[in-house]
Amino acid sequence: MKKILICTVAAVLFAVLCVPVFAEADSFPTAWELYLYWEENDAYPAYVTGVWTETGGLDKLTIGVLNTPAGVAGKAEILSLIENDDSVAFGSGAYSKKYLNAVMEQLVPYFESGRGLAWGGVNDMTGRITLGILEDKVSDPDTLAMLEEMRAQFGDVFVIEYTGALVTTLELPFTDKTALALEDKRPYFAIAAILAFLCLLTAVFVRRKRHTVALQTSTGEVLTDAEPLTVRQTEHAVRQAQLQPSAQTEQKIFDAIAKK
């Protein structure tokens, strides 16, 4: 009798303590759902450096993790959260996306300073922040001084882009002489840019050969001409195809309210 009582108490305790834990551990079917959860709740773990797709679809997302033991442990955690392991691939990045978002917020004064910083954004694929510098300010001493300040404050978090070239702040020229040397290399960047553009044109041409029906929303907006809808276009279509109540309904509502 005593044994039965002990077993019963143990079973009840187990159930009470474990059920909430199991409920919390509800997993995500694919990496896409996990990504949506992180985005919506601003809940990126500290070891994640970014999320992107290398397949052009949502069936498989690449999640960048830090090149540290925390990143390795993070991979295991992600795999334990996702039911379909084939929906995720892993990449690596230098800095946590959470940290990069925080750094971006601290860059506002630099954007407002008019010292040559044209734009900036977190690049998920590199795990760094890409900064766009106005071409005519590339060798401007004030712009270089600003970048040096930023390097002193944030280290090599940034990559700088101008005429398509990417260099980290550690590689930046802080003298006019080095800046001129970099300018000499620009024709190569131009050739690379032209080649990339030609590849893009080819890709667009190939895609347009895939004929599907022309699609239009109920409000008359043409969504696609000769290509299948993407997920984003599908969402856009649903968002745009809104419905309006009739004028009679509106009249009935305001008649009812007038009597109140």
Give the interface with other proteins as residue ranges (CB under 8 A).
26-30, 32-33, 36-37, 40-41, 58, 212-220, 223, 228-231, 234-235, 237-239, 241-246, 248-250, 252-254, 256-258, 260
Whichever of 121 and 228 has its CB closer to other proteins, that residue is: 228
Report the DSSP beta bridge partners of residue 222: 216
Whichever of 48 and 172 has its CB closer to other proteins, that residue is: 48
Question: Minimum distance from CB of 255 to other proteins (Å)?
Answer: 10
Question: Minimum distance from CB of 225 to other proteins (Å)?
Answer: 11
Question: Minimum distance from CB of 73 to other proteins (Å)?
Answer: 22
Whichever of 57 and 155 has its CB closer to other proteins, that residue is: 57
Whichever of 30 and 96 has its CB closer to other proteins, that residue is: 30
Q: Is 178 exposed, middle or buried (0-12, 13-18, 19+ CB in 10 A)?
A: middle
Helix 186-208 / helix 176-184 crossing angle, nearest 10 deg: 40
Between the CA of residue 137 and those of 10, 117, 161, 176, 189, what are the distances in Å? 72, 9, 12, 11, 18
What is 96-129 written as a DSSP string? -HHHHHHHHHHTHHHHHTTSSEEEEEEETTTTEE
Whichever of 20 and 109 has its CB closer to other proteins, that residue is: 20
Calculate Rg over the CA atoms of the chain: 27
Question: Minimum distance from CB of 189 to other proteins (Å)?
Answer: 37
Instruction: Give ∠ CA 122-101-167 in degrees, rounded to 5.
Output: 35
Question: Minimum distance from CB of 215 to other proteins (Å)?
Answer: 4
Contact 145, 172 (CB under 8 A): no
Question: Minimum distance from CB of 70 to other proteins (Å)?
Answer: 24
d(CA 249, CA 101): 47
Question: Minimum distance from CB of 75 to other proteins (Å)?
Answer: 20
Whichever of 82 and 131 has its CB closer to other proteins, that residue is: 82
Report the DSSP beta bridge partners of residue 120: 131
Whichever of 85 and 136 has its CB closer to other proteins, that residue is: 85
d(CA 67, CA 88): 17
Residue type (1 letter), 66? L
d(CA 169, CA 153): 11
